[in-house]
Amino acid sequence: MQHLLTLADVSADEIAYLCANARLMKHKRGAIQPPALAGHTIALLFEKPSLRTRVSFEVAARELGANCLYLSPQEVGLNKREATADVARVLSRYVHCVVLRTFDHATVEEFAHSASIPVINGLTDAHHPCQGLTDAFTIVEQCEAQPHPIVAYLGDGNNCAHSLLQAGVKLGMHLRIATPPGYAPSAQVVAQAQCEAKRTGGSVTLMTDTQEAARGADVLYTDVWASMGQEAEIADRRAIFAPYRIDAALLALARPAAIVLHPLPAHRGDEIATEVIDGPHSRVFVQAENRLHMQKAILRRLLTTSQSALANLSA
């Protein structure tokens, strides 16, 4: 694992390892630990806004002993002020890792191609691998009694859906993806996930009916109906996606102990009802916290010798 651009090529063992490492990071937070990333500098190059990804990476880097710097959309101008490949080459001479949040997924691929340091996708229009890893970790942590949980994703087949699919099937989860017609996840991502599912005992089922998705589920998951960059479509999407809201009636169809997840930011009353996100089934803020622990696991994996890092932590 040289870069983390999507979860397509991250193995099941690697995902399980990252989840185990994130769990250790969570339990050992606050304990005195050797600074695993002392002498490293991480650059966050963001072309879209962020709360969780930016802050969790900054705090993770600092708690591991690394320096961190944030480059805002106005500062660099990828492919506007300067060619993406040149920015990648220059940053590779200053810092040890770049977390890039951008629009077109091809930009992060181009950046990684020209960089000589690890590049982490901090979200593109097509993938959000750090979120997908955190979601897998949170589901494993919160649904411990279910080795093959049923995860119902409702709404837009977007970047978060793609990364959830890619991570979830590798851990043997059963993914039900309910979207309006025309908003299903990428056929290529689905086909690859269905192939993986055959090996892991999981499954991927696409549907349009929210009740079919929610019935008996262990996890209900939703995301915004209009992602960053789709602001012009908000009104149209609000009408199209209205039947896909997670509300109390839908939650009542899930297992009694079902949990509700959302990557945030959330729009109460749109994709998720207030009583659900703020209710007893919600694990949305645990999920947000877990971003921090997973970012540490990712940084350690990319910037230190992986197996010895986990062995040292466990000792």
Helix (H) / strand (E) element for 39: namely none
- Interface with ligand NVA in residues 106-135 (CB under 6 A): 123
Beta carbon of residue 77, minimum distance to ligand NVA (angstroms, whole number): 21
228 forms part of the interface with ligand NVA (CB under 6 A):
yes
210 forms part of the interface with ligand CP (CB under 6 A):
no
Residue 55 or residue 253: which is nearer to ligand NVA going by CB? 55
Instruction: Compute the radius of gyration of the chain from its Cα atoms.
Output: 19
Helix (H) / strand (E) element for 169: namely helix 159-170
Beta carbon of residue 135, minimum distance to ligand CP (angstroms, whole number): 10
Integer Cα distance of 119 and 84 in angstroms: 13
Q: Which residue in 110, 218, 223, 270 binds ligand NVA (CB under 6 A)?
A: 223
Q: Which of 10, 5, 15, 17 is nearest to 305 (CA)?
A: 17
Query: Which residue blocks in 64-148 are alpha helix, DSSP H?
Result: 73-76, 84-92, 105-114, 129-142
- CB neighbours of 112 closer than 8 A, spacing ≥ 6? 3, 5, 88, 119
Q: How many CB atoms lie within 10 A of CB 149?
A: 24
Q: For 142-164, give the DSSP string.
A: HTTT-SS-EEEEES---HHHHHH
- Interface with ligand CP in residues 17-56 (CB under 6 A): 50-53
Closest-by-Cβ residue to ligand NVA is 227
Residue 225's alpha-carbon distances to 40, 105, 244, 272, in angstroms, are: 37, 19, 9, 10
Contact region with ligand NVA (CB under 6 A), list: 102-110, 158-166, 237-245, 277-285: 158-166
227 forms part of the interface with ligand NVA (CB under 6 A):
yes
Closest-by-Cβ residue to ligand CP is 53
158: partner contacted, choices ligand CP, ligand NVA, none (Cβ within 5-8 A by kind): ligand NVA
- Interface with ligand CP in residues 237-276 (CB under 6 A): 263-264
51: partner contacted, choices ligand NVA, ligand CP, none (Cβ within 5-8 A by kind): ligand CP
Contact region with ligand NVA (CB under 6 A), list: 23-31, 61-69, 70-78, 220-228: 220-228
- CB neighbours of 38 closer than 8 A, spacing ≥ 6? 65, 66
Residue 137 or residue 310: which is nearer to ligand CP going by CB? 137
Q: Which of 45, 55, 42 is nearest to 111 (CA)?
A: 45
227 forms part of the interface with ligand CP (CB under 6 A):
no
Binding site for ligand NVA (CB under 6 A): 123, 158-160, 223-224, 227-228, 263
Binding site for ligand CP (CB under 6 A): 50-53, 123, 131, 263-264
